[in-house]
């Protein structure tokens, strides 16, 4: 099983995987995406993690909500 940190590294390094992740978020299928990529974390944990990373990087959370 992968952690959210491991999966995020993979997603950021792969444009196809990044597009797949965005598509999953837009379709409210993040749980399916996580399961398909063997991620052991819950949707809530992943969302909180990504929001914290974005905030730390200075990315406005309003941009994430557009997904």
pLDDT tens sequence across 1-23: 999 999 999 999 999 999 999 99
Domain that holds residue 52: 4-65
SS3 32: helix
pLDDT given for residue 9 in this prediction: 95
Domain count of the fold of the chain? 1
pTM for the model stands at: 0.84
How many Cβ atoms sit within 10 Å of the Cβ of residue 11? 19
SS3 20: helix
Q: What span, in angstroms and rounded, lies between the C-alpha atoms of 37 and 57? A: 25
């Amino acid at each position: 099983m992968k952690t959210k940190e491991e999966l995020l590294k993979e997603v950021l390094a792969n444009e196809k995987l990044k597009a797949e992740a965005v598509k999953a978020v837009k379709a409210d299928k993040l749980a399916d995406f996580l399961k398909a990529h063997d991620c052991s974390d819950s949707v809530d944990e992943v969302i909180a993690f990504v929001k914290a990373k974005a905030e730390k990087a200075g990315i406005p959370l309003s941009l994430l909500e557009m997904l």
